[in-house]
């Protein structure tokens, strides 16, 4: 079937024009009030507008004003809640947090890595990859029950050599007794050393990287530790 040149462009232009026209016909609060005032100024004093219709128009204006006030109040409430959450994130400084994610930064000390399984597994393997996607270390999960579990990685490869500082990625694989995959996600546990409030959403600063507050899975006193060594 042949296509008439320019048809698509013309249709798109027509759609845009129609949308713009529709928007231009939408009355806002000030437009409605202007029309109401104009009606009062220009009606015949000897033959005024139907009082019933006028009352109905006033009721519509009142409803419109209430909707605008409600939208404004909801916007203020959302802003206040966002500011409250941003400020409350400051209380996380010095605490251990668990974030759901796969990327973490390795410094000069060990990293606390974890996994969350939705069901009982027969085996759990954490592969640690460098920025090039190469596996440089593996950890075997010891706790195979459903829930959150953590391991300590010393930052060394299979030969016992300390790996350079940088960004690494966790790849978790869990199998049940039948060899089928178990739903699992990777976790990172780190101590919060600061909070960055410069963006639209607060970010926590840790030794393992920066993470959005919304990615926090839990927060604990730094003295609470439930870590296992599962190096393989």
Q: Mind listing the pLDDT tens digit of every residue in the chain (232 residues)?
A: 444 444 444 444 444 554 444 445 555 567 666 766 776 677 665 565 555 666 676 666 667 667 777 776 676 555 555 566 666 778 888 889 999 989 999 987 889 999 999 889 999 999 999 999 999 999 999 999 999 999 999 999 888 899 999 999 999 999 999 999 999 999 999 999 998 888 778 888 998 999 988 888 888 876 655 444 344 4
Residue 78, pLDDT score: 58
Q: Where are the domains of the chain?
A: 10-89, 93-228
| DSSP string across 169-180 | EEEEEEE-TTS-
pTM: 0.58
From the candidate CATH numbers 2.40.50.100, 3.40.630.30, 2.60.40.4070, 2.40.70.10, the one assigned to the domain spanning 93-228: 2.60.40.4070
> How crowded is residue 126: how many other Cβ atoms within 10 Å of its Cβ?
24
Residue 22, pLDDT score: 46
Residues 126/142, Cβ–Cβ less than 8 Å: no
Q: Is the dihedral of CA 178, 181, 184, 188 positive or negative?
A: positive
């Amino acid at each position: 079937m042949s296509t008439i040149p320019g048809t698509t462009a013309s249709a798109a232009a027509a759609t845009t024009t129609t949308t713009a026209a529709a928007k231009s016909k939408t009355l806002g609060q000030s437009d409605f009030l202007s029309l109401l005032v104009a009606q009062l100024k220009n009606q015949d004093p000897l033959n005024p507008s139907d009082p019933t219709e006028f009352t109905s128009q006033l009721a519509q204006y009142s409803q419109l004003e209430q909707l605008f006030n409600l939208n404004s109040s909801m916007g203020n409430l959302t802003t206040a809640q966002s500011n409250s959450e941003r400020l409350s994130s400051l209380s996380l400084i010095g605490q251990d947090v668990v974030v759901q994610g796969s990327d973490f930064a390795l410094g000069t000390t060990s990293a606390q890595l974890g996994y969350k399984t939705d069901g009982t597994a027969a085996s759990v393997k954490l592969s640690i990859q460098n920025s090039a996607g190469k596996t440089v270390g593996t950890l075997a999960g010891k706790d195979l029950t459903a829930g959150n579990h953590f391991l300590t990685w010393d930052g060394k490869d299979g030969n016992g050599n300390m790996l350079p500082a940088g960004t690494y990625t966790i790849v978790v694989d869990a199998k049940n007794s039948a060899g089928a995959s178990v739903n699992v996600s990777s976790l990172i546990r780190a101590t919060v050393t600061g909070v960055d409030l410069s963006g639209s959403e607060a970010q926590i600063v840790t030794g393992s990287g920066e993470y959005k507050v919304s990615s926090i899975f839990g927060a604990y006193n730094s003295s609470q530790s439930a870590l296992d060594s599962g190096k393989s």
